[in-house]
């Protein structure tokens, strides 16, 4: 069987979802049009571990239009949209993903992608790359390069490079300005709130929201939470970012202090046990814990279970823990990315930008394969300009061009007051 999905009969629903996403992903469709003519991936297999969402479906079809064979598994056990997975499988695309995968299935599906011997890998979180390096190193000579979607994955790749463990070239797609300034900021900002709302339907106005991490994601979440009338507290370990948060008008304090005030908590750091047992012991009755960082280790869920005498699912994606003190704490989506588990992930418009980055990164790898080394690369700056120009055109927005006089002025040092 070329697929493992929840229910192949969901394919027609998946088709409608993908059609709707396409209508908002004009920039990526322009890349698809060019790929369809030039076929940059003819004869190549692209293996993916990405969230299987409608937007990813649009990326898959774009790479196929460019001549690739695409094979896909999920990069998170809870983020798959089963109708989209069914659609891809029904089209004959090897697809291994369902929402609610066991850990064993999660890795089995990543291995199923590896079995297709990809020439290019696309990862979100670096699990596919690390699995290849740790257990299937014999395939590495066949691999031209890979692309990584997210901050946490890039941090892992940089650690691999420093350890001399990285054996094929990787492109840090998250480093594109058209990725982290939009996807992480606007995308995570909006969809994290969406996930919390779908899971709880709680009113944000008047609540205190604690955002851990004032990076690109955290800033987006803080801004949207404030926009809905919440008081926002930021926690940080980086002095510059803490200062930025303070000057953006948020309260900044250590998590141990913030824990006492928060009604809703969102971790967005990429780190481990950002919310830990000592914090939970300080929390108010009814506190809601959620995470939008890549892995589910930001909230110590095992610790929460140990503090508790009872645990029950009160709504889909919302589990109530009753602590020995009889206070209740609610954990959303098992501490996994709440925007993908409880909602649909980022809106199509921002994924269009991110996935233009993925598509163009794959093309860049093919064009430069002979000279690339096993390192983490960033794409040349003109790629960002190309993606932004496509998106602006799609949005019907025109901008100015510098005049000859302005260019000359910008490049010279002689002219002063
Ligand atoms: N949910 C999504 O759809 C989505 C989208 C993009 C990125 N991500 C993930 O979100 C996470 C954050 O990404 P980003 O781009 O904002 O990263 P970033 O590096 O810009 O920001 C992370 C911030 O967290 C801070 N931090 C680290 N440890 C901390 C701690 N103990 N307490 C408080 N703050 C701490 C860092 O100083 C940094 O400012 C990553 O795991 C990334 O992979 C998720």
Task: Please check the confidence at residue 47 and state whether its pLDDT lies above 90.
Answer: yes
Give the Cα separation of 279 and 167 in Å (integer).
Answer: 40
The mean pLDDT value for 136-143 works out to: 97
Give the Cα separation of 403 and 208 in Å (integer).
Answer: 49
Q: List, in order, residues 6 or more apart from 397 with CB less than 8 Å away.
A: none
Q: What is the pLDDT of residues 313-361, one digit of tens each?
A: 999 999 999 999 999 999 999 999 999 999 999 999 999 999 999 999 9
Give the Cα separation of 172 and 316 in Å (integer).
Answer: 35
Give the Cα separation of 340 and 50 in Å (integer).
Answer: 12
CA 267–ligand 1 middle distance (angstroms)? 8
Give the Cα separation of 388 and 391 in Å (integer).
Answer: 5
Give the per-residue pLDDT at 302: 97
Q: Given pLDDT bands bounded at 50, 70 and 90, which one contains residue 417?
A: confident
294 lines ligand 1 (CB under 6 A): yes
Supply the residue whose CA is at minimum distance from atom 20 of ligand 1: 215
CA 297–ligand 1 middle distance (angstroms)? 12
The mean pLDDT value for 37-41 works out to: 98
Task: Please check the confidence at residue 406 and state whether its pLDDT lies above 90.
Answer: yes
Task: Please check the confidence at residue 167 and state whether its pLDDT lies above 90.
Answer: yes
Mean pLDDT over the full length of the chain: 97
Q: Rounded to two decimals, what is the model's pTM? A: 0.95
Burial of 359 (0-12, 13-18, 19+ CB in 10 A): buried
Give the per-residue pLDDT at 222: 98
Which two tokens mark 14?
């998946």
- Mutation to probe ligand 1, out of 50, 151, 240, 262 (largest number of atoms < 8 A from CB): 151
- Mutation to probe ligand 1, out of 50, 183, 217 (largest number of atoms < 8 A from CB): 217
Give the per-residue pLDDT at 362: 98
Give the Cα separation of 294 and 150 in Å (integer).
Answer: 8
Q: What is the pLDDT of residues 382-397, one digit of tens each?
A: 999 999 999 999 999 9
The domains found in the chain, sorted by start residue, are 3-179+346-395 (3.40.50.1480), 185-341 (3.40.50.720)
CA 218–ligand 1 middle distance (angstroms)? 7
* Sheet containing strand 264-267, strands side by side: 251-252, 231-235, 208-212, 264-267, 287-291, 328-332, 318-323, 308-315
Give the per-residue pLDDT at 1: 83
Give the per-residue pLDDT at 415: 87
Which range among 170-174, 284-288, 411-415 shows the weakest confidence by mean pLDDT? 411-415
Task: Please check the confidence at residue 297 and state whether its pLDDT lies above 90.
Answer: yes
Of 234, 236, 216, 237, nearest in space to 226 by CA = 234
The mean pLDDT value for 123-147 works out to: 97
Q: What is the pLDDT of residues 204-243, one digit of tens each?
A: 999 999 999 999 999 999 999 999 999 999 999 999 999 9
Give the per-residue pLDDT at 416: 86
Supply the residue whose CA is at minimum distance from atom 39 of ligand 1: 215
Q: Report how far apart, in Å, the C-alpha atoms of 66 and of each of 19, 29, 60, 217, 303 are.
A: 19, 12, 10, 32, 48
């Amino acid at each position: 069987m070329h697929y493992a999905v929840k229910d192949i009969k969901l394919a027609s629903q998946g088709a409608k979802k993908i059609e709707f996403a396409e209508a908002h992903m004009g920039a990526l469709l322009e890349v698809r049009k060019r790929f369809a003519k030039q076929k940059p991936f003819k004869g190549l297999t692209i293996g993916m571990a990405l969230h299987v969402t409608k937007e990813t479906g649009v990326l898959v079809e774009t790479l196929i239009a460019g001549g690739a064979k695409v094979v896909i598994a999920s990069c998170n056990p809870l983020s798959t949209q089963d109708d989209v997975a069914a659609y891809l499988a029904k089209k004959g695309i090897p697809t291994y993903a369902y929402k609610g995968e066991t850990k064993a299935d999660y890795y089995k599906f990543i291995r199923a992608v590896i079995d297709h011997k990809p020439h290019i890998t696309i990862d979100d979180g670096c699990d596919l790359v690390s699995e290849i390096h740790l257990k299937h190193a014999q395939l590495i000579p066949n691999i031209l390069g890979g692309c990584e979607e997210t901050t946490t994955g890039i941090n892992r790749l940089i650690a691999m490079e420093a350890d001399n463990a990285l054996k094929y070239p990787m492109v840090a797609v998250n480093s594109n300005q058209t990725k982290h300034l939009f996807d992480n900021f606007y995308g995570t900002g909006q969809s994290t709130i969406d996930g919390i709302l779908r899971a709880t339907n709680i009113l944000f106005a008047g609540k205190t929201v604690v955002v851990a991490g004032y990076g690109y994601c955290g800033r987006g979440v803080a801004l949207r939470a404030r926009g809905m009338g919440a008081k926002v507290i930021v926690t940080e370990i980086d002095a510059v970012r803490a200062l930025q948060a303070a000057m953006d008008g948020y309260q900044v304090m250590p998590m141990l202090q913030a824990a006492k005030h928060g009604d809703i908590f969102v971790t967005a750091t990429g780190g481990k046990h950002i919310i830990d047992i000592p914090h939970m012991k300080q929390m108010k009755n009814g506190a809601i814990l959620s995470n939008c960082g890549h892995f589910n280790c930001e909230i110590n869920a095992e610790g929460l279970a140990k503090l508790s005498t009872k645990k029950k699912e009160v709504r889909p994606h919302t589990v109530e823990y009753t602590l020995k003190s009889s206070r209740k704490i609610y954990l959303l989506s098992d501490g996994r990315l709440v925007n993908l588990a409880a909602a649909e992930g980022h809106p199509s418009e921002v994924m269009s930008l991110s996935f233009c980055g993925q598509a163009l990164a794959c093309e860049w790898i093919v064009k430069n394969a002979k000279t690339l080394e096993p390192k983490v690369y960033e794409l040349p700056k003109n790629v960002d300009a190309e993606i932004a120009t496509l998106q602006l055109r799609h949005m019907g927005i025109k901008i100015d061009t510098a005049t000859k006089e302005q260019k000359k002025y910008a490049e010279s040092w002689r002219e002063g007051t």
